[in-house]
């Protein structure tokens, strides 16, 4: 594939299904390992008309299916940071779940114009991260990991065609997450909120509170009911939490057009 040039090389990183030029702020959302931008397809209608939602699209999935998977967190963060600088004017905030939280944190560290808020969900902070080997397991071992984390994705992986479609990108993203080595640096001058599920088998409150070490601008922790994928069942509670953190009215535009 010929690499796109000019603005197109930036646009491939960010999907916006419901542009809101008059929005007060833009919320940039980062998928979990194996996830894609479409995972946030229902969010724009729930944040309108006050916030425009942009979903990050990693290489190797959906409209970027013909691109190789990213080699590491640095590649993802560099690409998104450059896209934000080129395409996103005005106020913005970052939300990332699981692997997406790590990428969002690295984007905040790189950004020439810092976000107003960083929300990290379902992910250990850099001081707690350790090397992992899940990406080296066979397919059944990878599915066992997803089953332990909960959510609905694991149930879909009983279908052989779905396994063949999803597991390569899950494995690639686990490799990215498990080989990530955070570099030391000054704390962010950006408020950070960590959100976790109370039954997440990988992230507990004690360890999640160490996200406070990544910022000099204020930290808080929110715990919602659920497992690692708590945000599926707790979507409305999470979006209400995000509206509060972004200083937006907690009102959903009920007649706002739905998104695909």
Residue 148 lies in a domain: no
Using pLDDT thresholds of 50, 70 and 90, give the confidence band for residue 1.
low
260 pLDDT above the threshold of 60:
no
Residue 176 lies in a domain: no
Residue 14 CB contacts under 8 Å (≥ 6 apart), including other chains: 28, 54, 55, 56, 57, 80, 83, 84, 87, 88
pTM: 0.93
DSSP three-state, residue 128: helix
The structural domain count of the chain equals: 1
Show the domain range for 106.
Answer: 7-130+181-246
Alpha helices in the chain (DSSP H): 7-11, 43-47, 73-87, 99-110, 139-149, 153-156, 160-178, 205-208, 230-233, 235-245
Query: Which tens digit of pLDDT belongs to each residue from 181-210?
Result: 999 999 999 999 999 999 999 999 999 999
219 pLDDT above the threshold of 80:
yes
Query: Which tens digit of pLDDT belongs to each residue from 115-147?
Result: 999 999 999 999 999 999 999 999 999 988 888
Residue 169 lies in a domain: no
Residue 25 lies in a domain: yes
Computed over every residue of the chain, the mean pLDDT equals: 91
Give me the mean pLDDT over the 3-30 stretch: 89
Residue 215 lies in a domain: yes
Q: At 56, which CATH number?
A: 3.40.50.1820
Residues labelled catalytic: 98
With DSSP H G I counted as helix, E B as strand and the rest as coil, what are the percentages for the chain, rounded to 5?
40, 15, 45
103 pLDDT above the threshold of 60:
yes
């Amino acid at each position: 594939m010929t690499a796109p040039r000019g603005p197109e090389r930036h646009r491939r990183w960010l999907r916006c299904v419901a542009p809101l030029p008059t929005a007060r702020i833009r919320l940039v959302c980062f998928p979990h390992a194996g996830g894609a931008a479409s995972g946030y397809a229902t969010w724009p209608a729930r944040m309108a008309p006050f916030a425009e939602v942009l979903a990050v699209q990693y290489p190797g999935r959906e409209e970027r299916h013909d691109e190789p998977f990213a080699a590491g967190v640095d590649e993802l963060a560099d690409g998104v940071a450059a896209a934000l600088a080129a395409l996103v004017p005005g106020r913005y905030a970052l939300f990332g779940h699981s692997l997406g939280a790590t990428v969002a944190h690295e984007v905040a560290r790189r950004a020439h114009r810092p976000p107003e808020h960083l929300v990290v969900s379902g992910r250990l902070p850099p001081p707690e991260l350790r090397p992992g080997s899940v990406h080296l397991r066979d397919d059944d071992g990878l599915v066992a990991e997803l089953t332990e984390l909960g959510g609905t994705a694991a149930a879909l992986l009983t279908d052989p065609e779905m396994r063949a479609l999803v597991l390569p990108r899950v494995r690639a993203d686990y490799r990215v997450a498990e080989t990530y080595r955070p570099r030391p640096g000054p704390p962010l001058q950006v408020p950070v909120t960590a959100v976790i599920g109370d039954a997440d088998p990988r992230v507990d409150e004690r360890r999640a509170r160490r996200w406070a070490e990544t910022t000099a601008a204020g930290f808080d922790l929110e715990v919602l009911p659920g497992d690692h994928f708590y945000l599926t069942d707790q979507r409305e509670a999470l979006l209400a939490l995000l509206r509060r953190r972004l200083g937006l009215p907690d009102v959903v535009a009920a007649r706002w057009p739905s998104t695909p």
